[in-house]
């Protein structure tokens, strides 16, 4: 396969000791091998990187062939929501903690990027969601999500009550701390900690996971990803208080008022992740979730 990655972007997690030096080293290593390299503008400013070309995320469309993310999954999530609609693939180098999507260990960046430049990476498509909040006939919030859209209780601290519909059909009315709508990518994030199932990344499915439901028989459910979800909040008992909050990947949010409707559906865009040739999803699960450890070990 011929290398078509001639213009590369580097994106790093802010305020991370040592990352600026590592990112600069990677940039010079890449430049020596031919590609034009840009450091994302806010990354360069926050890590005090100088002497390299910079480019804002929102201006990368048509100028970048692939983006290399150094950080944790949160850094990749933030970049993915902006770059996915541009068709720019991402490869993640783990400079964080868990790193499900930033799956290249920091010690192996040179090998992984050598494969990238040789055109030998595996490609994988990941589903994104679009969420919007309507208040009457007005849209008051819109956001994309790669992991999940979460509707949860707000500052009043009590359970929220909501009606959940799928393609206009009533699924249930529920009182809970919240509900998680997760993509296969997000099934190993917050949804997993709330006892949701793990979905293989290529599945055309979503999972709905209640958070501390009052009805204990209310369990997670897997549904096809082509449906339209609506979550309508029931009026608050606290006059003037925000009834709840909707989060997109836990990075952007909006407070919810009584009778607001949260609409969630699959985005027309998807994210392309790049992996080294030896990438194995199940090996990632074994490593990150310690599936290879027997009880008592």
The average confidence (pLDDT) of the chain is: 92
Q: How far apart are CA 16 and CA 54, in angstroms?
A: 19
Residues 195-249: tens digit of each pLDDT: 999 999 999 999 999 999 998 888 999 999 999 999 998 865 555 455 799 999 9
The predicted pLDDT at position 2 comes to: 43
The predicted pLDDT at position 236 comes to: 56
| The pair of three-digit structure tokens given for residue 49, joined into one six-digit string | 């990187």
3-7, 31-35, 101-105, 263-267: least confidently modelled range: 3-7
85-99, 108-122, 148-162: least confidently modelled range: 148-162
Pairing of strands 122-135, 90-94: unpaired
Judged by DSSP in three states, 213 sits in coil
Residues 135-192: tens digit of each pLDDT: 999 999 999 999 999 999 877 667 899 999 999 999 999 999 999 999 999 999 999 9
> Percentage of residues in the chain with pLDDT exceeding 90?
79
In the chain, residues under CATH classification 2.60.200.30 are 128-268
Judged by DSSP in three states, 211 sits in strand
The predicted pLDDT at position 242 comes to: 57
Q: Is 292 a residue whose pLDDT tops 80?
A: no
The predicted pLDDT at position 3 comes to: 61
Residues 22-79: tens digit of each pLDDT: 999 999 999 999 999 999 999 999 999 999 999 999 999 999 999 999 999 999 999 9
Contacts from 192-195 at CB under 8 Å and sequence distance 24+?
A: 194/220, 195/220
CATH class of 128-268: mainly beta
Pairing of strands 160-166, 169-176: antiparallel
One DSSP character per residue, 132-179 reads EEEETTEEEEEEEESSEEEEEE-TT-S-EEEEEEETTEEEEEEEESEE
Q: Label residue 99 by pLDDT band (50, 70, 90).
A: confident
The predicted pLDDT at position 243 comes to: 79
In the chain, residues under CATH classification 3.40.50.10330 are 7-121+276-289
Residues forming the active site: 73
Choosing among 1.20.1740.10, 3.40.1190.20, 3.40.50.10330, 3.30.200.20, the CATH entry for 7-121+276-289 is 3.40.50.10330
Q: Label residue 1 by pLDDT band (50, 70, 90).
A: very low
């Amino acid at each position: 396969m011929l290398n078509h990655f001639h213009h590369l972007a580097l994106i790093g997690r802010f305020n991370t000791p040592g990352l600026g030096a590592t990112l600069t080293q990677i940039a010079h290593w890449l430049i020596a091998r031919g590609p034009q390299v840009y450091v994302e503008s806010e990354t360069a400013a926050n890590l005090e990187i100088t002497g390299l070309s910079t480019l804002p995320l929102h201006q990368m469309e048509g100028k970048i062939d692939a983006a290399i993310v150094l950080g944790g999954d949160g850094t990749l999530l933030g970049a993915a929501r902006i770059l996915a609609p541009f068709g720019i693939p991402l490869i993640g180098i783990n400079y964080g903690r868990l790193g499900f999507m930033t799956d290249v260990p920091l010690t192996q960046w040179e090998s992984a990027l050598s494969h990238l430049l040789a055109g030998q990476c595996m490609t994988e498509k990941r589903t994104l969601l679009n969420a919007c909040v309507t208040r009457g006939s007005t849209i008051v919030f819109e956001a994309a999500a790669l992991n999940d859209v979460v509707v949860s209780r707000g500052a009043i601290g009590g359970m929220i009550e909501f009606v959940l519909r799928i393609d206009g059909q009533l699924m249930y009315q529920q009182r809970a701390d919240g509900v998680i709508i997760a993509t296969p990518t997000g099934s190993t994030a917050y949804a997993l900690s709330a006892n949701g199932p793990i979905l293989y990344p290529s599945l055309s499915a979503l999972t709905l996971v209640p958070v501390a439901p009052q009805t204990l028989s209310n369990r997670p459910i897997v549904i096809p990803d082509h449906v339209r979800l609506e979550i309508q909040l029931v009026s608050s008992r606290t006059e003037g208080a925000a009834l709840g909050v909707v989060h997109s990947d836990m990075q952007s949010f909006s407070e919810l008022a009584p009778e607001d409707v949260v609409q969630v559906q699959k985005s027309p865009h998807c994210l392309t992740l790049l992996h080294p040739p030896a990438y194995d999803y199940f090996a990632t699960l074994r490593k990150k979730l310690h599936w290879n450890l027997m009880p008592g070990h």
